Chains A and B, each alone.
Chain A
Amino acid sequence: MKIRAYLYSLLFLVLAVVLSIAIGSVFIPPADLGRILIGWLYRATFSEPLKTFAFILTDIRLPRTALVLLTGAALGGSGAAYQGLFRNPLADPYLIGVASGAGLGAVLTMSIKWPYSFWGLMAVPAAAFIGALLTVFLVYALARVGKTVPTTNLILAGVAFGSFATALTTYLMLRSTGELHRAIAWLNGGSSQAGWVPVLTVLPYLAIGLGILVLSGHALNLLQFGDDQAQQLGLPVTRARTLILLAASLATAAAVSFSGIIGFIGLIVPHVIRLWFGADYRRLLPLSLIGGAGALLLADVIARAVMAPQELPVGIVTALVGVPFFLWVLRRAKNQGYW
């Protein structure tokens, strides 16, 4: 069971990666695709039209696939961690305001005309990242009671501050003249800076955040018994919770900084994994990483293909396709009281 769960989800991920590389608005015949991939091994140089196809594969599709994969993994993994942390099936990585903080930072920055330079182009993702983390710290500070941080307080402070930030973002968008379109695209996961720079920039944050999460399975299992029980079983509850919260928020903040706000992956993927492979967090976390990556890759393929050469913001696809799929899984699930 354990091995099969990993096998299935890895197969799913590989399939999604292959589709993501093979499908785009420019049709590359499968035979050419094979020839290019084999040619790489020999470091062959191609002539037209293979040269263009090879360039599209290496310089456009591969970096995009990598960024989407990382973003999906971050959202899936953080979603599972948040749900376990708050012991709440409605929790997703945006529960305590990461998305609204990032959105506020991004939209605020878009209203300024930055110089066209490396750092000018980094302004929006950097502001989104900082906005997200500041929100988490603020919410955490607001929710604190003495030395403990009750989860109910966290949720309430998070939702309240989230509404505040969203209202401010909407106000800024309504007032702006030229940036409305860009802002809406960003808020629906439609921002895409091509190339490897975004991938390399988010990688260290994700490695740290997701690394901590994957190792937190046991702690999350204990937390499911309630704080007192977990404490008695030897878990330093407050410290563990803070660390997991920070790690998940860090991963989410890094993921949204370049990709924009992508909803539902972090909510749905952990639930599907739980329904299919059980609720043991030691397994649920890594599987949610893999599942989130695969699911977002598929959504991105659809976003690119459905109206090609136009591209839809991927957040629209994750909701339109992801939600019916999840409801279908939910209806079919045999262990209805799984939570």
Chain B
Amino acid sequence: MIRKFLIALLIIPLLAACGPARTSTPATPSITMTDDLGRTVTLAGPAQRVVSLAPSNTEILFAIGAGAQVVGRDETSDYPAEALSLPTVGGWSGFSSESIVALHPDLVLAQGGGLNSPELVASLERLGLTVYVLPNPPTIEAMYTNLETAGVLTGHGTDATTLVDSLKRRVAAVDQKIMPLSYAPTVYYELDATEPTKPYTAGPGSFVDLLITRAGGINIGAELQGQWAQISLEQLLVANPAIIILGDAAYGETPAKVAQRPGWGTLAAIQTDQVFPFDDNLVSRPGPRLVDGLEALAKLLHPGVFK
């Protein structure tokens, strides 16, 4: 008896809940694109009031010249400086849909890959907002595509193409200088060393890993598992990286502090003063500044070639 009752319980609300109605509004000069969630997003024309839900999106919008069309941002969007004067609509712990609605955006630019959840997208969509989810790009080339997409959505298609061309030239310049080099230093990129005996480093598949390789280095974290990988002090001592880059410099880590960590003093990088603080935002946000990050890394790894 109880079993039947329970099965019935499971079924009732499934019947009660009905699927949301999809409405399509075909306008004449409209823009239609498919986003990261596979949704077909249609805009009546280039978006004039954009709310950005990710720092990378804000950086992209400003970089392609759509900064004046941005009316809201998430809490962590702190670049470029102009963005700081925009109202915020939430951030790392949650977004306020009513703050977003109150800004009357004609486009909400979200980011996929775990940053903005599909639940958030659905909630905003149900409120009648147009949401486009940019994919979290796995490569620099995929990041270019995001720039071009944002360009089309905001009516800055040509600006985006120009920007992409210049970024491509800068990357090619780095590639050209790195290619003939036969020496590739081993690099340890630190993400978090709250526990100095097992700090976090950038694992395979992360942008840091990709950029270190492209900048002519060998990421010792590439052997580990996961994009955020924990490395033991033992593994670190064995790998004995030639260069240590402190992506956690913003949290107060300095080369002097690293040298004082118990057991770290014997590392080659510390004895040869090859420990450098680094702006992690350059390599953790999948926007145009990745190229700045690549250049900065290349300079650190091969100071002789880049002057």
Contacts and interface: CB of A to CB of B under 8 A. Distances in A.
Nearest to B124: A194
A61 B99 CA distance: 12
Given A56-B101, A205-B13, A175 B122 contact: no
Nearest to B89: A309
A89 to B, nearest CB: 29
Nearest to A25: B96
B93 A313 contact: yes
A197 B17 contact: yes
B127 interface: yes
B75 interface: yes
Nearest to A122: B17
Nearest to A55: B101
B256 interface: no
B9 A26 contact: no
A221 to B, nearest CB: 24
B227 A310 contact: no
A104 to B, nearest CB: 18
A53 B119 CA distance: 23
A155 interface: no
A305 to B, nearest CB: 10
Given A56-B98, A204-B13, A205-B9, A310 B93 contact: yes
- State the majority secondary structure of interface residues on A: helix
B118 A311 contact: no
Interface residues of B, number: 45
Contacts of B262: none
A62 to B, nearest CB: 12
B65 interface: no
Interface string B14-51: 00110110000000000000000111000000000000
A185 B118 contact: no
B94 A192 contact: yes
Given A181-B114, A205-B9, A192 B96 contact: no
B219 to A, nearest CB: 17
Given A118-B19, A177-B114, A177-B227, A190 B101 contact: no
Nearest to B102: A26
Contacts of A202: 13
Interface residues of A, number: 51
A76 B136 CA distance: 41
B38 to A, nearest CB: 6
A114 B13 CA distance: 21
B250 to A, nearest CB: 19
B38 A192 contact: no
Contacts of B39: 116
A59 interface: yes
A182 B127 contact: no
Nearest to A180: B114
B90 A121 contact: no
Interface centre among A116, A121, A200, by most chain B C-beta atoms within 10 angstroms, is A116
A249 B46 CA distance: 50
Interface in B107-128: 113-115, 117-119, 121-124, 126-127
Given A24-B98, A26-B99, A59-B127, A193 B122 contact: yes
Interface in A167-182: 175, 177-182
Interface of B: 2, 6, 9, 12-13, 16-17, 19-20, 37-39, 75, 87-99, 101-102, 104, 113-115, 117-119, 121-124, 126-127, 136, 226-228
- Which 4 residue pairs of A and B lie closest in terms of their CB atoms, listed nearest first? A178-B114, A311-B94, A194-B123, A116-B37
25 contacts: A59-B127, A116-B118, A120-B118, A177-B228, A178-B113, A179-B114, A181-B115, A190-B94, A193-B119, A194-B123, A195-B127, A202-B13, A204-B13, A204-B16, A242-B2, A246-B2, A308-B96, A308-B99, A309-B88, A309-B99, A310-B90, A310-B92, A311-B93, A311-B96, A313-B94
